[in-house]
């Protein structure tokens, strides 16, 4: 028998009805853009301009404008790639894994997290694509017939696995997101007044009527997609980690990388979700939908995954010592006490130490503090990738090729520019599509068990 839960807090507060949910969540779409939206969007466009300018300069002059013409040949570029791919993991985790675990609190945040995934993967893809240098022959990475034999792609290479993993992840995430959006696009279709708007939303709503037959199959398809996406999300960052782990570079050649990268990805992804949602709930008046309870749950995940990542850092150190391999030992001593010590300790402080503050309830339930901590987490996770890539590459086996590395202005511009891509997409999403899954939220208004 269905009854109101007496042990769980309401997931949506404010005694909302289904009509209230539509009205509240569709408000930004149906009304003219707010001033805060205009300011945020303009700022994003400025950063997008920085990306375009940096990319134009790179393509016009050549990849030599990046400071990677040395043994640190992955530099900021692959650091940024792994950083963005990692951020792209929380969306699928929230949608898929939490769906399988029947965590209903995900319903208020899954839509924006999935959108974030897609935009983050777009940002991530920019880096390896342009790192190729001759980007116009980028299609060589695909298994296409060609005039060299045909000399096909190398299926033993983790870099090729990346091509398949990232493109599959992007496509399946987009599909999952779109299927989830169809009922809400139909709701918007039936609310907008303009003829053109009605036609556009009508086109994408695919004639959705809300039939029970369709809902039953829709729920099944979502469940199966969640079942597929869960191993997919684990495989993607596992494969990204094998870009490093299958090499023989000290500091990279470790079997701990796959789980450590996956935990780090979830950690950084939740960091970015928290950054976006703490702001969005305030600016868009969604406090009744993204409640303190949601922030509490997210910060708990941040704390757990941060601790997993922290244990991985310590395990790496232990194994380096315990293995007796002097190159490994040197690589790790150099990380912590070499010329890049500041990056290593920034990483440790931001990822391992700082999230422990979430043991305290106050820290988990104070939005402005969570916002600051989410930025700390993101900074820490960028440093993690920087530490892994730069500290292992700048001290080669040959001391003659030892170098120091710092990103050039173009590299920095490209990185800042990807925030422009990300936030431009996110602001457009917030203006034209419902940021919260209306249909799912309506189904949990009654707090049933």
**Binding residues vs other proteins (CB under 8 A):** 17-19, 22, 143, 149-156, 158, 160-161, 164-165, 168, 171-172, 175-176, 179, 182-183, 186-187, 189-191, 202-221, 224-225, 228, 231-232, 235, 239, 242, 438-440, 442-443, 446
- Report the alpha-carbon distance of residue 273 to residue 436 in Å, rounded: 13
- Report the alpha-carbon distance of residue 106 to residue 180 in Å, rounded: 13
Helix ranges restricted to H, 246-338: 257-283, 292-323, 326-337
Give CA 234 to chain center in angstroms.
13
Residue 245: name the closest of 236, 255, 237, 235 by CA. Answer: 255
Q: How far is the CB of 128 from other proteins (least distance, A)?
A: 16
Q: Are 418 and 54 in contact (CB under 8 A)?
A: no
Q: How far is the CB of 108 from other proteins (least distance, A)?
A: 14
Output the CA torsion sign for 380, 383, 389, 391.
negative
Nearer to other proteins, 37 or 204 (CB): 204
Nearer to other proteins, 109 or 347 (CB): 109
Residue 30: name the closest of 164, 158, 201 by CA. Answer: 201
Nearer to other proteins, 215 or 419 (CB): 215
Q: State residue 448 phi and psi, 5-degree precision.
A: -80, 155
Q: How far is the CB of 217 from other proteins (least distance, A)?
A: 5
**What angle separates helix 158-189 from helix 212-245, to the nearest 10 degrees?**
150
In sequence order, the 6+-apart residues with CB closer than 8 A to the CB of 356 are 303, 306, 307
Q: How far is the CB of 100 from other proteins (least distance, A)?
A: 15
Find the distance separating the first CA and the last CA of the chain, reported in whole Å: 9
Nearer to other proteins, 150 or 400 (CB): 150
Q: How far is the CB of 85 from other proteins (least distance, A)?
A: 14
Kindly provide the residue ranges of all beta strands, DSSP E only, lying in 74-159, ordered along the sequence.
Answer: none
**Exposed / middle / buried, residue 2 (Cβ in 10 Å: 0-12, 13-18, 19+):** exposed
Cα 278-431-447 angle, rounded to 5 deg = 55
- Report the alpha-carbon distance of residue 175 to residue 105 in Å, rounded: 22
Nearer to other proteins, 77 or 440 (CB): 440
Nearer to other proteins, 85 or 439 (CB): 439
Nearer to other proteins, 166 or 263 (CB): 166
Q: How far is the CB of 163 from other proteins (least distance, A)?
A: 9
Nearer to other proteins, 66 or 257 (CB): 257
């Amino acid at each position: 028998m269905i009854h109101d839960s007496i042990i769980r807090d309401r997931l949506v507060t404010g005694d909302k009805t289904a009509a209230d949910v539509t009205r509240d969540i569709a408000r930004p779409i149906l009304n003219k853009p707010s001033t805060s939206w205009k300011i945020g969007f303009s700022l994003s466009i400025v950063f997008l301009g920085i990306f375009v300018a940096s990319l134009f300069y790179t393509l016009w002059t050549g990849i030599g404008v990046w400071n990677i013409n040395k043994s640190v040949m992955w530099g900021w570029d692959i650091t940024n790639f792994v950083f963005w791919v990692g951020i792209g993991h929380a969306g699928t985790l929230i949608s898929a894994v939490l769906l399988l675990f029947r965590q209903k609190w995900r319903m208020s945040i899954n839509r924006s997290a999935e959108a974030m995934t897609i935009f983050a993967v777009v940002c991530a893809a920019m880096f390896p694509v342009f790192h190729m240098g001759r980007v116009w022959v980028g299609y060589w990475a695909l298994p296409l017939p060609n005039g060299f034999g045909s000399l096909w792609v190398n299926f033993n290479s983790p870099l090729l696995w990346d091509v398949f993993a990232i493109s599959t992840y992007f496509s399946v995430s987009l599909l999952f997101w779109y299927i989830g959006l169809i009922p809400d696009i139909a709701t918007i279709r039936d609310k907008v007044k303009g003829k053109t708007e009605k036609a556009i939303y009508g086109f994408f709503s695919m004639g959705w009527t809300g039939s029970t037959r369709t809902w039953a199959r829709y729920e099944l398809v979502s469940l199966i997609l969640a079942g597929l996406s869960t191993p997919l999300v684990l495989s993607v960052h596992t494969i990204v980690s094998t870009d490093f782990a299958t090499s023989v570079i000290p500091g990279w050649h470790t079997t701990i990388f796959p789980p450590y990268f996956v935990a780090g990805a979830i950690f950084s992804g939740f960091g970015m979700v928290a950054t976006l949602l703490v702001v969005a709930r305030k600016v868009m008046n969604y406090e009744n939908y993204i409640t303190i309870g949601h922030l509490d749950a997210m910060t708990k995940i941040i704390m757990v995954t941060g601790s997993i990542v922290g244990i991985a850092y310590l395990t790496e150190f232990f194994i380096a010592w315990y293995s007796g391999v002097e190159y490994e030992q040197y690589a790790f001593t150099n990380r912590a006490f070499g010329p890049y010590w500041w990056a290593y300790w920034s990483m440790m402080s931001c990822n391992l130490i700082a999230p422990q503050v979430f043991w305290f309830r106050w820290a988990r339930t104070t939005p402005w503090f969570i916002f600051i901590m989410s930025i700390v987490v993101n900074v820490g996770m960028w440093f993690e990738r920087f530490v892994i890539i730069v500290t292992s590459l700048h001290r080669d086996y040959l001391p003659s090729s030892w170098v120091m590395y710092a990103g050039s202005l173009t590299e920095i511009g490209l990185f800042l520019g990807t925030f422009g891509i990300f936030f431009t997409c996110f602001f457009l999403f917030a203006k034209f599509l419902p940021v919260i899954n209306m249909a799912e939220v309506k189904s949990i208004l009654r707090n049933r068990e």
